[in-house]
Chain A
Amino acid sequence: MRFMVCLKPVPEPGTVKVDPKTHTLRRESATLILNPADRYALEAAVELKEKVGAEVTAVMMGPPNAIPLLKEAYACGADNIYLLSDRAFAGSDTLATSYVLSLAVQKLGPFDLIFCGKVSIDGETAQVGPELAAWLNWPSVIWVKDIRPAQNGFEVVRLTDEGEEELEVRPPALFTIEPEINDPRPPSIKRLLEMLTREVPTLTAEDLDADPSHLGLEGSPTRVLDVFTPTYEEKKEILEGPAEEVVEKLVSILKERGLI
């Protein structure tokens, strides 16, 4: 079997810079880390591979300075790693991102399962996974917290707003992975060393036969018009001074308002 894992490079919180004109994130300038939720997706794929026998391909759309993150994914058990990188991808929203990932599936597939993180910490839309499934016309299951091999495919448990559901899923299918599913393993030093001098294959828009009209800022249907800082009425009471007095004052305000 063949599995694909989608890994997103995200700016380390606090290091993000935003393009003053387009208000999209400038990923080149930030320190990149692997999106935390994607570690669980990778681990889920690797654990399932160890159970059923499979090959795991990790794919990341991002700038060239994200390559160390892919090498780390290799050290955590991915068999193949690919960077999807092209200036034309810059500024992509979720539709454009999922389009590029769908091309990678065409190019590198066939795959039986695709694993995505539950949500990214920068975009935080949780859209790319199900959108990718739609480009491929595959079923998708979000918030998956357990996967077991079964007769005609897989049995998975998903979280819902009401509790949990167990489903049978016929592949090919895409899952977004709930962090409680596993404890991601640390990278193997041996595999990290192995990667030290290795080139990571990079696929460009041309390699992927991408339709330029779907790529990057131009190909993204959503646009940030402008940004603003909300203002608040200055109607507040400021309590300052020795802690005892402050607390006494606070308690009397709560009393006055009938809140205690």
Chain B
Amino acid sequence: MKSPTINLRDLLFVVADPNSYICMIVHSMLRSFGANKVIEVRDSLGVIKALTGQKIDILLCDAKLPPHGGLKLTHAIRWNKNNENRTVPVLIMTGDTRATTIKTARDVGANMVAAKPLSPASLYDRLAWIAFNPRQFIDTPTYFGPDRRFKIEGYPSGVGRRKGDHDLVVGEDAGPALSQSEIDNLLNIARSGQD
């Protein structure tokens, strides 16, 4: 399969992570991918400031962004009807890859979840996936965000479900940490009505 190419020039990225070193690494990766407009913030207030008065193109947000967490922040962005960035793509970065966390990220309206520690390939593929697989938005009394019933049929690069991956049974228990492919697979399960 032909590798996809994403053109990130002139797109405004907001990277939100309390860890300055992580911010610097992600910033460097984005620059390597061709991005030239990257704002780094350390907390939710920084994100809100960045979202005020300008249109950002994508938010890369840590799940535990202080003070209230990146998931609550994503929920707040999706439910603020006056925010012009309400439908901005949100990629959640998290070291907590338990199934419940991934499900929560999906249910607050995140577009994608990337497991920490991040790798350049993992980040590039997820940005490419968001770019090349646009999803409809769903607005209901209980949910506002990208359609959760989507299917990953392999990343445009050809990276997809591996032969050795296990099927997931989603339960209430927090459960063990998931690999990145399991996270993607868990998002996929929603489409087949198992969740």
Q: A and B: partners?
A: no
Interface residues of B, Cβ cutoff 8 Å to A: none
